[in-house]
Amino acid sequence: MDLTKSSLLRMKHRALRNRVWFSVLSPIERGLLDLTVGWVGQVKSAKLASILNEILTKLLTVMNHGIIGALQRGYALAERISEWAYGWGNGAAREWSSDPNFQRALGLGLLSL
């Protein structure tokens, strides 16, 4: 991954949207990323790139863990709901358990069940 101003800003915005920017990163890590974005167009220093990669890996790990957990919850809920609906006579409900969009919606709580 090229460490450019735009790629670092995208990661920061994604972390802020996922509400992990302040909870996962220390003030020093946040400051380092902000300073890099403010002063550098593209990171050329191997040492700085290494440090930033550690910080970004930390963010990505936390953000992906949340997504994976939501998908796992959604998969379990989709199977259960599919079985219930099929038992109530809805023949098409058998396919719901394998629908990734239905699983994602359930896991993220979009259906407010």
- Two structure tokens written together for 30: 């946040």
Render pLDDT for 1-45 as a digit per residue (tens, 0 to 9): 688 999 999 999 999 998 889 999 999 999 999 999 999 899 999
pLDDT at 67 over 80: no
The whole-model pTM stands at: 0.60
Domain hosting residue 48, numbered range: 5-64
pLDDT at 51 over 90: yes
Q: Which long-range contacts (CB under 8 A, 24 or more apart) does 64-73 make?
A: 66/18, 66/20, 69/107, 70/104, 70/107, 70/108, 71/103, 71/104, 71/107, 72/107, 73/106, 73/107
> Do 23 and 60 reside in the same domain of the chain?
yes
Say if 59 falls within a structural domain: yes
Say if 113 falls within a structural domain: no
> Do 74 and 59 reside in the same domain of the chain?
no
> Do 27 and 40 reside in the same domain of the chain?
yes
pLDDT band at 93 (very low <50, low <70, confident <90, very high): confident
Instruction: Give, in degrees to the nearest 5, the angle at Cα 112 between 111 and 113.
Output: 95
